[in-house]
Amino acid sequence: MKLRYLLPLVFSFALGSSAAQPKEYQVTGPIVALTDDVITVDKSGEKWEIGRSGATKVTGKLAVGSRVTVHYRMGATAVDVKDDGKGKSADAAKGAKAAPKSGDASAEKAKKSRS
């Protein structure tokens, strides 16, 4: 009898801990534009475009002008790495090496030839 109550609890804990989800957000306001892929909501004069798919759960009928609360999560679509993880970008490091320093012999020669 105790096993019947314990087993669902164990499974729900295991599923919850293994499938970490990003934080959920929400925006509320009237719909100002609506397509099959995007809902645009006006939040205090600011237009929020939120993507949607066939898997998006909708309660009620969506229509322009309807006041809605849209629940969403943020997710990356692409990531471009700009440096090697050491704090400076590789391009900046190359540029710093290429720039002549004031103590360089070539810089000294250029100054003398101008005089």
Query: On the CB side of 13, how many CA atoms lie within 13 Å of its CA?
Result: 5
In a domain, 60, yes or no: yes
Residue 108 lies in a domain: no
User: Residue 98, CB half-sphere, CA atoms under 13 Å: how many?
Assistant: 6
Q: What's the alpha-carbon Rg for the chain, to the nearest Å?
A: 29
pLDDT-based confidence at residue 94 (cuts at 50, 70, 90): low
User: What is the count of structural domains for the chain?
Assistant: 1
**Structural domain of 62:** 21-73
> CATH code at 63?
2.40.50
pTM given for the model:
0.55
Residue at 34 is within a domain: yes
Tell me: the pLDDT tens digits for 26-67?
A: 999 999 999 999 999 999 999 999 999 999 999 999 999 999
Distance between CA 36 and CA 53 in Å, rounded? 7
Instruction: Output DSSP code: residue 100.
Output: P
Please say whether the beta carbons of 48 and 34 come within 8 A: no
Q: Does the pLDDT value for residue 95 go beyond 90? A: no
How confident is residue 84, by pLDDT bands cut at 50, 70 and 90?
Answer: confident
| Within-domain flag for 61 | yes
